[in-house]
């Protein structure tokens, strides 16, 4: 029997404004369109994808805690919290679920304060700079990782 992986995709602050917020940096797709694409990709990959967005750091911490025992892994765009939140980093470390950090833009080509990620040290990997494909590649990488763990 093939495992259907349960994946939580978390979106951080201001991502609810995608499609209207700085389209030159973040593209023209809405968050709803990104979520729909990821759910479709999930079907092809054998994953059930659930999504959650919040502008609140505390709600994101609570979502990470709630993933324990309910999901096999997390795809996470912590947005601006990437560079500031020890609380999110600690929540990911606490639940010990595999996490892929994703960003629509290349955070390493932007302002220097965006070059620091508190998420990366507790993630299995980071994908940035590919717009929607950052999420899609992140989901694929997570499922490949989960499949590899199941085989070992």
Active site positions, annotated: 26, 103
In three-state form (DSSP H/G/I as H, E/B as E, the rest C), the secondary structure along the chain is CCCCEEEEEEECCCHHHCCCCCHHHHCCCCHHHHHHHHHHHHHHHCEEEEEEECCCHHHHHHHHHHHCCCCCEEEEECHHHHHCCHHHHHHHHHHCCCEEEEECCCHHHCCHHHHCCCCHHHCCEEEECCCHHHHHHHHHHHHHHHHHHHHC
């Amino acid at each position: 029997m093939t495992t259907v992986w349960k994946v939580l995709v978390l979106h951080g602050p201001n991502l609810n404004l995608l499609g209207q917020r700085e389209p030159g940096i973040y593209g023209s797709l809405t968050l709803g369109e990104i979520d729909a694409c990821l759910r479709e990709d999930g079907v092809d990959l054998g994953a059930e994808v659930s999504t959650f967005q919040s502008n609140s750091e505390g709600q994101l911490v609570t979502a990470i805690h709630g993933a324990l025992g309910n999901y096999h892994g997390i795809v996470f765009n912590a947005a601006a919290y990437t560079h500031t939140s020890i609380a999110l980093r600690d929540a990911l470390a606490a639940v010990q679920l595999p996490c892929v950090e994703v960003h629509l833009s290349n955070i390493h080509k932007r302002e220097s304060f965006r070059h620091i990620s508190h998420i990366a040290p507790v993630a299995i990997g980071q994908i940035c700079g590919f717009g929607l494909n950052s999420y899609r590649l992140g989901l694929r990488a997570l499922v490949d990782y989960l499949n590899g763990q199941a085989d070992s």
